[in-house]
Structure 1
Amino acid sequence: MEKMEHTILEEQKGDRIDKVISGLNEEWSRTQVQDWIKEGNVLVNGKNVKTNYKCSVSDFIVITIPEPEELDVVPEEMDLDIYYEDKDVLVVNKPKGMVVHPAPGHLTGTLVNGLMAHCKDLSGINGVLRPGIVHRIDKDTSGLLMVAKNDLAHESLVNQLVEKSVTRKYKAIVHGVIPHEYGTIDAPLGRDPKDRQSMTVVDNGKHAVTHFRVLERFNEFTFVECQLETGRTHQIRVHMKYIGYPLAGDPKYGPRKTLDLNGQALHAGLLGFIHPRTNEYLEFEAPLPEDFEELLDRLRNNR
């Protein structure tokens, strides 16, 4: 089993242990870390602690990262839209409506099921239900994802995400007419205390930064490009709502009266990263889906 060590810094004094550990790796969820703590895989100064343990300066933490479980996800033949593939990485254009990885009670029809049928060699770092998955996009968001085919590639791509060197640009349609051309939203994100299934801006949340620029304005909507500096859950959806311009069609964060799009108008159109083996910068761009283009045409015709 892989081990990771960390010494608590001055700025982490008083923080919960589960928050500190989940902040060490963008791919570790707080729930996952809490399970590790309960299972005895986290020691603070050589002792087991509870998930709500408050850290002190110079606390020495040892995290034992559990080995990936045996895969119990069935490969399924799918017509995947592969943009790039070699022995280390794969870039796929995910359609709207497809879930990226299985979850308990939802083990079929996901991108991971299709990837497992397409290629047998996916990294095992994320364990049983998410082989090869380095980052995610929501079910109703379309667009490009990078997938690791071995652990070397996985570690490299995750490190690039942590270092914020991956280029991720999204196209979105938002409610309201944004008056300025550019903007940056720097607001920390965390679970909504009133609704644990939703994210919101909270003082003690994870650092989150989204840059945006206006591409086109309509009567009641704006077409924007958003660039992620960090990659938090639902980041663009929550950030745009926070500044008063929620995504069109968003059932969770949009207004009740919104466009009927079967989900938010959001497309991960551009993805760039450094190849884990060759160190060459690769960049890919996927056009807007047909229904997204049709919506833009309708908005243009209504001006």
Structure 2
Amino acid sequence: MVHLLRSVFHGSSPTLCPCRKTSFLDSHSRGQSVRSFVVCASSATSKAAEDYEAYQNQFSEDDRRESGGVKFEGVVERSGSKSRLDQWLSKQLPRVSRARVQSSIRHGLALVNGQPANKVSFSLKGGDTVECKLIGPTPSEAEPEDIALDIAFEDEHVIVINKPAHMVVHPAPGHSKGTLVNALLHHCGLPAMQLVTGSSGSQKGLLGVQDSEEEDELPEDDEAVDPGTLHKVEWSGPAPIIRPGIVHRLDKGTSGLLVVAKDDYTHEHLCNQFKARTVRRSYLSLTCGSPPPGIGRVDVPIGRDPRDRKRMAAFPFASPNMRTRPAASKYRVLEVLAQGGSSLLEWRLETGRTHQIRVHAQHLGYPLLGDEAYGGTKGAAEAKLLPKFPSVKHGPLRHMVAQIDRPCLHAQTLGFLHPWTGEELNFMCPPPEDFATILQLLRLYGTSKV
């Protein structure tokens, strides 16, 4: 089903016209139909040209190529207590992994009061001056791969893609092939690239991730490196002009809409829209259990789980010195399913933190179906569903739950201003087959729309 998203404007109503839809699906693709619409805004093109000129003037060619490490300098507070060098640096650099900090220290890149300190356990005291140059991250190569893409919209500046579940966005240890980046390199006719992982504050790279639902410092699910920048490995012909830039990402298990930039200016402009929280996105999820009907809001900081750094956790009573970030999510119960054993929820994000919806759903006590990392296990789903029905129905319910092999989360809508034309683009795609099948099965056991 195709839906038209209408934008709210002050004054006269905008003209709506269908965008060109470019499909690159082959006969074996199972991609969902996606429809896009443009709110025409003819006066914005000249403004985009002015913005682009100002953008180009900000950086030199060297700046745009830079992908090196970061040098940190700071003074230890006089608190009266001592602390380890690696722990103190990690607190000062919350976007940098502890492993990278420790590696930098062991390589002799840390100075305390001007003297080398190559032990991670070096004891700091108040008033000490600390300098540390972070060791450069290790590059990995991304090869172009002929992978079908479900493309909702494409022009010379942006691509909007309906990402399938189980596809990782960018290469990382354990996921060097089959990623969205591999597919984009082939689609854009680019050579192999080097993905420089790590989160250098000075990087302006084309694959530096700005925001996502499951967004900030952690990569997809179980990877242990941060997203980074693509750099060309070898290119004997003319330098490629189109370079895919990941602006935001979705978790490996999350399906739905994603926008990719093809040039530096578009990447910068879209990143700024994400920073300003003007990008319009909504998500659908299926939960274990059913929250009270209506609209709710979760405003709980999120940080790395101290018991497992590959996971995030909610910290409702976070202290100022904890490494957490503010996170707020709004949700609406659309449909109560299976007599309250599950619900269909719509989510809208006020912030974009790693695994935000999944963490906040768990914090509410209603984790996403299929989310093994955040409480939505098969056992949890059965515990919510089976007591609602007589034992004769338990077998089919268990069979249904066993079919769920990923968190039931789908990025349904996406809207943003086109960086070059100023046109307002809005996209909507229905959930994929696996999500829709579970939803339909749950409805067979009872449904009540809110």
Which residue of structure 2 aligns with residue 197 of structure 1? Answer: 310
Does 2:407 align with 1:286?
Answer: no
Q: Relative to 1, partners in 2 of residues 1:275 and 1:6: Cα closer, same or farther, differing over 3 Å?
A: farther
Name the CA distance, whole Å, in 2 between partners of 1:146 and 1:244: 31
Q: Relative to 1, partners in 2 of residues 1:29 and 1:255: Cα closer, same or farther, differing over 3 Å?
A: same
Name the CA distance, whole Å, in 2 between partners of 1:42 and 1:280: 49
Pick one of 221, 225, 229 that aligns with 1:127: 229
> Unaligned stretches of 5+ in structure 1?
23-27
Which residue of structure 1 aligns with residue 82 of structure 2? Answer: none
Tell me the alpha carbon deviations over residues 192-237 of structure 1, each in whole angstroms, 9 at most, x when there is no partner. Answer: 0011111101323111111100110012001000111211111101
C-alpha RMSD of the superposition: 3.8
Structure 1 position 43, deviation (Å): 11
Pick one of 263, 266, 274 that aligns with 1:161: 274
Which residue of structure 2 aligns with residue 210 of structure 1? Answer: 329
Q: Relative to 1, partners in 2 of residues 1:119 and 1:299: Cα closer, same or farther, differing over 3 Å?
A: same
Q: Which amino acid aligns with 2:184?
A: L
Tell me the alpha carbon deviations over residues 69-94 of structure 1, each in whole angstroms, 9 at most, x when there is no partner. Answer: 98721100111000111122111001
8 Å contact kept, 1:210–1:228: yes
Which residue of structure 2 aligns with residue 247 of structure 1? Answer: 368
Q: Which amino acid aligns with 1:246?
A: P
Structure 1 position 97, deviation (Å): 1.1
Q: Relative to 1, partners in 2 of residues 1:194 and 1:168: Cα closer, same or farther, differing over 3 Å?
A: same
Structure 1 position 106, deviation (Å): 2.3
Name the CA distance, whole Å, in 1 between partners of 2:182 and 2:362: 33
Q: Which amino acid aligns with 2:410?
A: H
Paired residues, number? 290
Q: Relative to 1, partners in 2 of residues 1:6 and 1:31: Cα closer, same or farther, differing over 3 Å?
A: closer
Q: Which amino acid aligns with 2:250?
A: I
Does 2:401 align with 1:262?
Answer: no
Structure 1 position 131, deviation (Å): 5.5
8 Å contact kept, 1:18–1:33: no
Tell me the alpha carbon deviations over residues 99-148 of structure 1, each in whole angstroms, 9 at most, x when there is no partner. Answer: 11110242111111111100146935531499511111111110011111
Q: Which amino acid aligns with 2:425?
A: L
Does 2:414 align with 1:271?
Answer: yes
Does 2:179 align with 1:179?
Answer: no
Q: Relative to 1, partners in 2 of residues 1:63 and 1:171: Cα closer, same or farther, differing over 3 Å?
A: farther
Task: Kindly indicate whether structure 1 or structure 2 has the higher relative contact order, using CA contacts under 8 Å at least 6 residues apart.
Answer: 2
Does 2:252 align with 1:109?
Answer: no
Q: Which amino acid aligns with 2:351?
A: T
Name the CA distance, whole Å, in 2 between partners of 1:131 and 1:48: 41
What secondary structure is seen at the aligned counterpart in 2 of 1:252?
helix
Structure with higher helix content: 2
Structure 1 position 35, deviation (Å): 8.3
Which residue of structure 2 aligns with residue 85 of structure 1? Answer: 154
Does 2:256 align with 1:143?
Answer: yes
Percent of aligned pairs with the same residue?
Answer: 42
8 Å contact kept, 1:173–1:221: yes
8 Å contact kept, 1:186–1:210: yes
8 Å contact kept, 2:104–2:134: no
Name the CA distance, whole Å, in 2 between partners of 1:62 and 1:139: 34
Q: Which amino acid aligns with 1:252?
A: A
Which residue of structure 2 aligns with residue 229 of structure 1? Answer: 350
Which residue of structure 2 aligns with residue 76 of structure 1? Answer: 145
8 Å contact kept, 2:282–2:412: yes
Name the CA distance, whole Å, in 2 between partners of 1:35 and 1:128: 25
What secondary structure is seen at the aligned counterpart in 1 of 2:141?
coil
TM-score by length of 1: 0.80
8 Å contact kept, 1:168–1:271: yes
Name the CA distance, whole Å, in 1 between partners of 2:326 and 2:309: 19
> Unaligned stretches of 5+ in structure 2?
1-61, 80-86, 194-205, 209-227, 232-242, 382-400
Structure 1 position 47, deviation (Å): 11
TM-score by length of 2: 0.55
Q: Which amino acid aligns with 1:209?
A: A
